[in-house]
A and B are shown apart, each in its own frame.
Chain A
Amino acid sequence: MTTTAALGPADDLGPDVVDRARSGDQEAFAALIKHYDPGLRSLAYRILGDRDRMDDALQEAYVKAFRALPRFRGDSSLGTWLYRIAYNACLDELARSRRVVQLPLDDAAEQPSSRSDPGDMVANRRDLAAALAGLPLEERAAVLLVDAQGFDYREAGNALGIPVGTVASRLNRARAALRAALAGGAGL
């Protein structure tokens, strides 16, 4: 299995950073959070649709994680555990606000690309963002965790609170829609 940096262990933070964080060391916990934050931000932003709500959800998630970390037993990886807390915080945020989520479609900023035509790339990202926004929440989360963040199915299932088989079926549907968008089609 390969993992991305976002999910990977926090070994590069120092051998005792998790232990220190579990004992209530704020600085150690902050280091842990910053390690996982890029991936968690990506997930929260794609679920909630704007930065303010992303921040609200992640504030709640990080505080809950800090509170619960002393009881974290390592049944799953720390990263999986954090993603689950963040995902639930996003669901809470959605339930709390009951607002229509305007998902981000304006992904047109310059990014490194191997393609020769920047215009094509921008258009593709717009299409992809639109396709992602059009997916049901559960499918969106599954494809973000597995394909973008590098979770395996079991980890994704743990993070989302669903069986492995459900992860696979959601992935299939999500990938079909997103591949079509990437190919430039309107298959949404």
Chain B
Amino acid sequence: VTRDLALGAALRSLDVPDHAPGFYAQLHARLAEERVASLDDVRRRRRARQARLRWAARAGAAAAAAAVALLFFLPRDERVPDAIRQETASAAAIKAKVASALAQARTVRGRLVIEGKEALVFADRDRIAYTFAYTEQGDFRLHGLTHREELAYDAKQGVERQYFVDSDGVVSAGVLTGLAPGFPDPSPSDWIVGRRYGSVVRALRETQDGVVRRVRHKGRTAWRLDVDVQPSWIVPELTADHLRIVVDRETGFPVAIAEQKQGRLLRRTTLEKLEVNGELPPGSFALEFPPAAKPNRLDLGYRRVELSDVAAKVGYAPLVPAWTPDGYELAEVAVARRGGPTGTEAANPSSRMVVSLSYRRGLDQFLVTTRLSRVEAPGERELPLEELWGDPLATGEGYPDEPESITLRKGALEDVDVELLIVPRNVPHLWALTGELVVTVGGDLSRAELIQIAESLERQR
């Protein structure tokens, strides 16, 4: 290489301006957007790979909207001047009211409106609206009002049907069978969102530091809860650092949630025309595909069985809680010889011999799941289990969890260390890793209830 050093030095002496002020801030924001797009892309590709269904990407959106609708009724209530009827209310009273409402509801239906950029799910829309219906059995129905999208879930059969018609009139449709009854396994779409959004309200039951005020919402008395939450460290600019939730005082249902970032509204979800415990018309959960639809079909492998048949199916006696909170009853038992990976970004090993026990009480649900902890895959089976497994219900990439470590004192898991996590963005849950099983207990439960259930787990004989 020949290089003119003197010329090079002279060229380097020429002035070059610094970037304009704000260059790096703008770059940082754009990179954050790229990160979101990248994550979205990863998720889409993963769904596509797993399901090989073109409509899978849409399922998340529909399902999410549905779950939000169920558990939050989004408000435009922030327009109500705070000066009107602002009194400090009792957080305990609100928690009790919300818990009671969810536990006693048999059916709920209404209209869900989501406004604002939902970068991870609704990247192409500023406003979407659905009607929805939900039952205590877990049946779920979503009907798009702003676009052609339909979703119906039959809880008893574990079957979800869905279609979506894009702006060019192309119909994407699919039928998912063999769904698990809930997290952390492949679940109906309402749980996708239920876990992400609905659990905010559930976790509020455990919140001690939220600010509660009494407000007017659409002419009705309501409570407004203000709670600070941790934004994603991956996309901090695009995720909320504050939640403002409005709970209807009479019904005890959350009717609105505003996700804010540094005081700026990121997204508002509103539940309108809410009807609790009303009679649902016949055929509410039926779904007819458009004539042009050619539904893709995918069986996820979870089968409803009797509890007494579980051991024969999976080769081990299931862990069953001897104690459950008042009102909860065993609603579904499902098993799968092989299931999908769990955990943050599905980083855990593939699941084997999964048992999923679903308990319901009104719209509340909790699940006890077990799967074999031993790993078969070459290159993994030699590794310590602790290196292979993480929390199957981890909050997700960008949200580092700080679980509480507890040692159980009774039951089949006596002396086993578990990690317990109750945060607004996730389902309250605990999980344990033993030489044989990965165990999760999670759902609409308090910290004390989670521990008590876990300590009551016994082998079903």
A interface residues with partner B (beta carbon < 8 Å): 1-2, 24, 26, 29-30, 33, 37-38, 41-42, 45-46, 51-52, 54-55, 58-59, 62-63, 66-67, 104, 106-107, 109, 111, 113, 124-125, 128-129, 132, 143-144, 146-148, 150, 152-153, 175, 178-179, 182
Contact = CB atoms under 8 A, between A and B. Distances in A.
10 contacts: A24-B234, A29-B31, A33-B27, A37-B19, A38-B16, A41-B16, A42-B14, A106-B15, A125-B10, A146-B1
B45 interface: no
Given A125-B14, A148-B11, A51 B20 contact: yes
Interface stretch (B32-40, B309-317, B410-418): B32-40
B3 A63 contact: no
A133 to B, nearest CB: 10
A128 B11 contact: yes
Contacts of A67: 34, 38
Given A45-B17, A55-B23, 5 more contacts: A26-B28, A26-B31, A58-B19, A59-B26, A179-B4
A168 to B, nearest CB: 8
Nearest to B42: A24
Contacts of A109: 15
Contacts of B20: 51-52, 55
A26 B35 contact: yes
Nearest to A64: B34
A59 B27 contact: yes
Contact of A30 (B10, B28, B35): B28
B170 interface: no
Main secondary structure on chain A at its contact with chain B?
Answer: helix
Given A26-B31, A62-B27, A175-B4, A45 B16 contact: yes
A144 B4 contact: no
B234 A63 contact: no
Interface of B: 1, 3-8, 10-20, 23-24, 26-28, 30-32, 34-35, 38, 234
Contacts of B16: 38, 41-42, 45-46
A175 B4 CA distance: 8
Contacts, number: 103
B345 to A, nearest CB: 11
Contacts of A125: 10, 13-14
A147 B4 contact: yes
Contacts of B11: 128, 132, 143-144, 147-148, 178
B93 to A, nearest CB: 43
Contacts of A129: 14
A148 B8 contact: yes
A2 B234 CA distance: 37
B7 A107 contact: no
B31 A148 contact: no
B32 A26 contact: yes
B268 to A, nearest CB: 27
Contact of A1 (B1, B8, B17, B35): B1
A72 B24 CA distance: 23
A109 B7 CA distance: 18
Closest 3 CB pairs of A and B: A147-B8, A148-B11, A152-B1
- Most chain A C-beta atoms within 10 Å of own C-beta, residue among B1, B14, B26: B14
A153 B3 CA distance: 10
Contacts of B14: 42, 46, 104, 107, 125, 128-129, 132
A55 B19 contact: yes
Contacts of A58: 19, 23
Contacts of B3: 2, 146-147, 150
A8 to B, nearest CB: 15
A33 B234 CA distance: 18
B34 to A, nearest CB: 6
